[in-house]
Structure 1
Amino acid sequence: MSTRPANFYDHTRDELLALASRWGFPPVHAARLWAYVYLAGVEDWRAMPELPARYRAKAEGELGFGRHATAAETHSADGFTRKYLLELSDGRRIETVLMRYTGRVTACISSQAGCAMGCVFCATGQMGFVRHLSPGEIVAQAMHVDAVLRGVGPGGALADAASDSPHERHERLRNLVLMGMGEPLHNYDAVMKAIDILRDPNGLALGAKKITLSTVGVVPGIRRLAEEKRPFHLAVSLHGATQEERAALVPAAKKWPLDELMDACRDYIARQQRRIFYEWTLIEGKNDTPESAHAVGRLLQGQLAQVNLIPLNPTTGYDGAPTGREAAKRFQEILAGYGLPSTVRQRRGIDIAAGCGQLAVAKR
Structure 2
Amino acid sequence: MTHPLLELLHTRPRLSELAAYPFDFDIHRAGHCEDVRLASGASLEPIAGDDTGGTYFVCDGGPVLYASSEGDAGLIGADVREALDILIGLPACPASVTPQDGEERILAAVAEEEEELREWYGPTLDADRAELRAGLGLPERSPVELLARLHAAGARTEPDFVLLNAREGRAYRLMHDEPRPSVRDAVLAAVREDPARPRAAGGAGVEGSGGVDGPEGVDGPEGVDGPEGSELAWIRLAGRRGLTELARVRLIRMLDDTGPADGALIGALAEEFALLGDFWQAARAQRLYASLQDAPADRVSAFCALARLERHAGDPDAARRALDRAVAALDGAPAPKELAGEALALGHPGVQPVPRP
Short-chain TM bin: under 0.3
TM-score (norm 2): 0.28
* Higher relative contact order, chain-length normalized (CA < 8 Å, sep 6+): 1
Richer in strand (by share): 1
Richer in helix (by share): 2
TM-score (norm 1): 0.27
Which is higher, the Rg of structure 1 or of structure 2?
2
